[in-house]
Amino acid sequence: MHTITFLGTSAGVPTRFRNVSALALQPENSKKWMLFDCGEATQHQIMKTSLSAYNLERIFITHLHGDHVYGLCGLLASKGMQRSESPLEIYGPKGLQEMLECVMQHSQLNLPFDLKIFEIDGKSSMRFGAMKIEVVELSHSITSYGFVISFDDMPGRFDARKAKEMNIPEGPLYARLKAGENITLPDGRTIKGSELVGPPRKGARIVIGGDNDNPLLFSPYAPFDLMIHEATYTQRDFERLEKKFRHTTAKQLAEAAQEMGVDWLILNHISPRYDKNGRVVELLEEAKRYFGGRVDIAYDFMKIEI
């Protein structure tokens, strides 16, 4: 199972209960992990989990608003202070490289690891082994992107317990059976790999959205097993705002998710106003009125598997 850990779920500013935007994705059977957005104090949040900056392989930045990016330089400096030599790649909008290089130059930040910065656009796509990431340009007050993550289909699970019960010696024979081969044991029995390996598992399809007032921009890539997207306000509160910010409401997101065939929807990037008096439930109730699948609200250090 792929593991997602929410490191920060607040919109704009941290609160007593939520830090600003960051989430970690650790693919199945991998020590390496990747980070999506890196708001202020993300490195403090990482220290409260089982994740390690040493194994951080890639960072993806949705946009350059401070609550999504101000933690980058501190995280890079700390990784360097740990004498980490593992390479790090950072992907983000145009301007990211200039911003980081300026800070590193003027603070004399010399890193012991190879840092590669890639500026992306809405046509970018990347493949890392069994995972493909497609970049989607979103609608916000500055350039903002979302990421569609598609994992390749995986072989079925090998039933090691059944293999032991059949007195099959552990070792190279297990590997051959996992690959679907047929083997002949020293006692003359022929064992088919299909007897011990389950059906192929469909690769997960996940979308992680940056700030965006039009979640249907992801519709060409639908459907999704999991959609993580901002739901900064309820519709009622948004309509009462004197100044309109380009964010998505719980209602808008739920309607879009329903139309796109999302299985599991997680509301993220929560306005600090909902941390008061237990108001966060208002977002959940609104989303449930318009979305028929599973829906949750992200909170800091929430961990899910998919």
Q: Is 216 exposed, middle or buried (0-12, 13-18, 19+ CB in 10 A)?
A: middle
Q: Is 292 exposed, middle or buried (0-12, 13-18, 19+ CB in 10 A)?
A: exposed
**Could you tell me which residues come within 8 angstroms of residue 154 by beta carbon, excluding any fewer than 6 positions away?**
28, 130, 200, 201, 203
Q: Is 211 a catalytic site residue? A: no
Q: Locate 7 and state its tokens.
A: 């490191």
Q: Which of 37, 67, 211, 213 is catalytic?
A: 67
Return the active site residues. Answer: 67
